[in-house]
């Protein structure tokens, strides 16, 4: 059995077929939902008549993005147990959302976060700033989705990176333009179940396949070795580091010398020329790539041992990621929009509870692919394609038709992930743009969707070098530093003022996105400054809260009128029939 490196084994047909099927099905479900989309209101929030179970699956479907499907496994494979905090944070974010935001937000009856800001603070200014932040977070979050699409199509069908980006970009624009949110609700819940089975079934089969001794090695901390004869093609020049004397077969160039045949590399660093291939026998050690941490030892198997950027401060990294993901979830515009489709505050809570169960179940699986990949397909370390481990592993482990079919299944799941998350994001971005800049009609919504989709595709072509999970983590950090303080203070603190909200949004959101942008552009100072820039949430979130509160306290004269009534609407149970709560809510139980 030879490791499948890229396409060319005749298996891409299955993967492509699966991708086409999922895409077609998502569009068909969307078009079916189109029959219900008649007015702007139903277009945007599905008329608030979505029952909790369906809504929870839709929220989960929208939430589980390329980062969850592909990125987590890649990070675990590369950096080890420390990356397990990401999915924990992604899930725990819903607990925080449930505790502080879900029911009050639904009761205030706003369509979007910009509506919430305007309704709570009576300020068109806060509304405009919020809209800008929605577009900012939405775009940051859209890029990794499109990037994941590029990676996936490249892995299953051998197409260039840009092709996947453009194809998924086009599909989501069409989906959103024909259906709006209503259709997206149906698509999203459908896509959630595809994603869960596409990651769960292969993971369980792979683990069952390995039972016994091999399973015990899954957690071994020794350096990864090849488990089967493997040929690694390196398409670009690669600097490798050999820890001890290692035998290797070479066809190509090493340090500029043409080599063909087996040789022994002494300890040291070597440059392998582009187009060379290295072959290894079972049991031979995997050379590490210079600049990447070794996937072994305590650094890999410790939950606080992140050996990457800011490596001197793994504990800071963990807490900053936790803070960003805990508090960022509530600030994701496409997720918040979905809470308005609950019937009332009670349903909003129940929906959130179901979401916790659904995504918690999903997150059991992706990290397993990371550990399996380290053991069974370590060639990905050399090729720098750990991002595709979820897609490639079934074929490597099973081979034959079983491997092809499972490979096709995960490809379908990955595609479901991009389609669902990016559709939801595009609805939010287009909603914000059309609601505030254009004339609030369905036609403008479609125009905005087309515009935003095109811009995102353009930017998506530029972010190929970044791990998609890291990109998503940054979107969370910006959300946690802007909308989280706005929501939490807006819901629980009567003294919030429009100037305070604007100051907090600009300070937190602005500084967090500046730090992220600097890191993306390659500004990476060592030591603490580097750690603080790469994971800004730990400082930008407290800063945003402090700014919002301080400026509010200094501008108490502009506390909006009727703040008590507004707060009552958000917190009073539906039973009391407080005026201002959504009129459509069903008669409360036991109130006849």
Q: Which residues bind other proteins (CB under 8 A)?
A: 81, 84-85, 88, 91-92, 94-96, 98-100, 103, 215-216, 219, 298, 301-304, 315, 318-319, 322, 346, 349-350, 352-353, 356-357, 360-361, 363-364, 367-368, 492-495, 556-557, 559, 561-565, 567-568, 571-573, 575-579
CB of 495: closest distance to other proteins in angstroms? Answer: 5
CB of 371: closest distance to other proteins in angstroms? Answer: 8
* Distance in angstroms (rounded) separating the CA atoms of residues 287 and 381: 9
CB of 220: closest distance to other proteins in angstroms? Answer: 10
CB of 321: closest distance to other proteins in angstroms? Answer: 10
Question: If you search the block for the tokens 């990651």, which residue do you land on?
Answer: 199
**Who's near 542: CB < 8 A, 6+ residues apart?**
none
Query: Residue 244: how many CB atoms within 10 A of its CB?
Result: 9
Closest to other proteins by CB, 101 or 449: 101
CB of 575: closest distance to other proteins in angstroms? Answer: 4
CB of 265: closest distance to other proteins in angstroms? Answer: 31
Closest to other proteins by CB, 45 or 322: 322
* Distance in angstroms (rounded) separating the CA atoms of residues 567 and 457: 41
Closest to other proteins by CB, 22 or 121: 121
Closest to other proteins by CB, 22 or 295: 295
| Joined tokens for residue 82 | 């420390």
- The H or E element spanning position 581 is none
Closest to other proteins by CB, 24 or 124: 124
DSSP helix/strand/coil, 350: helix
| Residues linked to residue 252 through DSSP beta bridges, in sequence order | 259
Closest to other proteins by CB, 179 or 328: 328
* Distance in angstroms (rounded) separating the CA atoms of residues 322 and 371: 22
DSSP helix/strand/coil, 236: coil
CB of 520: closest distance to other proteins in angstroms? Answer: 26
Maximum distance among all alpha carbons in the chain?
A: 87
| Burial of 148 (C-beta count, 10 Å sphere; 0-12/13-18/19+) | buried
CB of 573: closest distance to other proteins in angstroms? Answer: 4
**Who's near 190: CB < 8 A, 6+ residues apart?**
25, 26, 29, 61
Nearest Cα neighbor of 319 from 93, 526, 507, 85 is 85
CB of 84: closest distance to other proteins in angstroms? Answer: 4
* Distance in angstroms (rounded) separating the CA atoms of residues 380 and 392: 10
| Joined tokens for residue 208 | 């069952």
Closest to other proteins by CB, 94 or 398: 94
DSSP 8-state assignment for residue 118 = H
CB of 184: closest distance to other proteins in angstroms? Answer: 25
Closest to other proteins by CB, 6 or 303: 303
DSSP helix/strand/coil, 283: coil
* Distance in angstroms (rounded) separating the CA atoms of residues 11 and 16: 9
CB of 552: closest distance to other proteins in angstroms? Answer: 11
Question: If you search the block for the tokens 């987590």, which residue do you land on?
Answer: 72
**Who's near 330: CB < 8 A, 6+ residues apart?**
93, 96, 97, 100, 101, 336, 479, 483, 484, 487, 488
Q: What is the DSSP string of 354-381?
A: HHHHHHHHHTTSHHHHHHHHHHH-THHH
CB of 363: closest distance to other proteins in angstroms? Answer: 7
CB of 429: closest distance to other proteins in angstroms? Answer: 29
Closest to other proteins by CB, 264 or 579: 579
Q: What is the DSSP string of 213-224?
A: HHHHHTT--SPP
Closest to other proteins by CB, 317 or 381: 317
User: Which of 364-391 are b and which e, b meaning 16 or more Cβ less than 10 Å from the residue's Cβ?
Assistant: ebbbbbbbbbbbbbbbbbbbebbbbbbb
Closest to other proteins by CB, 163 or 493: 493
CB of 322: closest distance to other proteins in angstroms? Answer: 7
Closest to other proteins by CB, 91 or 513: 91
| Residues linked to residue 230 through DSSP beta bridges, in sequence order | 280
Closest to other proteins by CB, 432 or 551: 551
Closest to other proteins by CB, 158 or 303: 303
CB of 364: closest distance to other proteins in angstroms? Answer: 6
* Distance in angstroms (rounded) separating the CA atoms of residues 363 and 35: 34
With beta carbons less than 8 A apart as the criterion, state whether 410 and 198 touch.
yes
DSSP 8-state assignment for residue 286 = P
Closest to other proteins by CB, 3 or 330: 330
| Residues linked to residue 242 through DSSP beta bridges, in sequence order | 268
User: Which of 64-93 are b and which e, b meaning 16 or more Cβ less than 10 Å from the residue's Cβ?
Assistant: bbbbbbbbbbbbbbbbbbbbbbbbbbbbbb
With beta carbons less than 8 A apart as the criterion, state whether 272 and 237 touch.
yes
């Amino acid at each position: 059995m030879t490791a499948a490196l890229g396409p060319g084994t005749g298996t891409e047909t299955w993967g492509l077929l699966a991708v086409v099927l999922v895409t077609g099905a998502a569009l068909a479900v969307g078009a079916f939902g189109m029959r219900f989309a008649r007015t702007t209101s139903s277009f945007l929030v599905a008329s608030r008549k979505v029952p909790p179970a369906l809504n929870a699956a839709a929220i989960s479907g929208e939430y589980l993005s390329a980062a969850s499907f592909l990125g987590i496994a890649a990070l675990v494979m590369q950096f080890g147990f420390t990356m397990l905090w990401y999915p924990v944070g992604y899930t725990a974010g819903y607990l925080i959302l449930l505790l502080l935001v879900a029911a009050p937000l639904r009761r205030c009856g706003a369509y979007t976060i910009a509506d919430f800001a305007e309704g709570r603070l009576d300020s068109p200014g806060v509304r405009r700033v919020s809209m800008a932040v929605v577009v900012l977070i939405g775009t940051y979050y859209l890029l990794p989705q499109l990037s994941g699409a590029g990676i996936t199509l490249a892995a299953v069908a051998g197409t260039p990176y840009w092709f996947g980006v453009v194809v998924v970009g086009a599909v989501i624009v069409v989906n959103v333009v024909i259906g709006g949110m209503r259709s997206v609700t149906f698509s999203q819940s459908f896509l959630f179940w595809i994603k869960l089975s596409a990651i769960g079934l292969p993971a369980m089969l792979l683990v069952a396949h390995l039972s016994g001794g091999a399973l015990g090695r899954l957690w071994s901390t020794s350096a990864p070795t090849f488990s089967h004869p493997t040929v690694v093609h390196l398409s670009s020049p690669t600097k490798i580091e050999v820890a001890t004397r290692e035998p290797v077969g070479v066809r190509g160039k090493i340090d500029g010398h043409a080599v063909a045949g087996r040789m022994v590399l002494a300890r040291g660093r070597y440059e392998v020329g582009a187009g060379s291939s290295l072959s290894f026998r079972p049991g031979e050690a995997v050379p590490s790539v210079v600049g990447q941490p070794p996937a072994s030892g305590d650094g890999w198997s410790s939950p606080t041992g992140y050996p990457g950027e800011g490596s001197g401060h793994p504990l800071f990294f963990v807490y900053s990621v936790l803070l960003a993901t805990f508090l960022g979830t509530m600030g994701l515009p496409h997720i918040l929009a979905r809470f308005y489709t609950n019937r009332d505050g009670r349903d909003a809570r129940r929906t959130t509870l179901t979401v916790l169960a659904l995504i918690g179940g999903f997150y059991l699986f992706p990290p397993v692919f990371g550990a399996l990949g380290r053991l069974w397909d370590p060639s990905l370390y050399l090729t720098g394609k750990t991002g595709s481990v979820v897609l490639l592993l079934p074929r490597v482990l099973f081979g034959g038709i079983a491997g092809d079919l499972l490979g096709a299944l995960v490809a379908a799941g990955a595609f479901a992930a991009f389609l669902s998350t990016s559709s939801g994001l595009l609805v939010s971005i287009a909603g914000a743009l059309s609601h505030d800049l254009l004339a609030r009609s369905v036609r403008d919504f479609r125009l905005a969707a087309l515009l935003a989709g095109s811009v995102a595709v353009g930017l998506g072509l530029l972010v190929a070098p970044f791990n998609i999970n890291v990109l998503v983590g940054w979107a969370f950090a910006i959300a946690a530093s802007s909308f989280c303080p706005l929501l939490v203070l807006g819901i629980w603190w009567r003294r919030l003022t429009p100037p305070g909200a604007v100051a907090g949004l600009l300070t937190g959101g602005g500084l967090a996105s500046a730090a992220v942008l600097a890191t993306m552009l390659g500004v990476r100072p060592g030591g603490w400054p580097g750690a603080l820039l790469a994971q800004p949430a730990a400082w930008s979130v407290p800063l945003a809260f402090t700014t919002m509160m301080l400026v509010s306290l200094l501008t108490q004269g502009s506390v909006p009128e009727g703040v008590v009534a507004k707060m009552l609407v958000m917190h009073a149970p539906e039973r009391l029939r407080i005026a201002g709560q959504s009129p459509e809510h069903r008669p409360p139980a036991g109130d006849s």
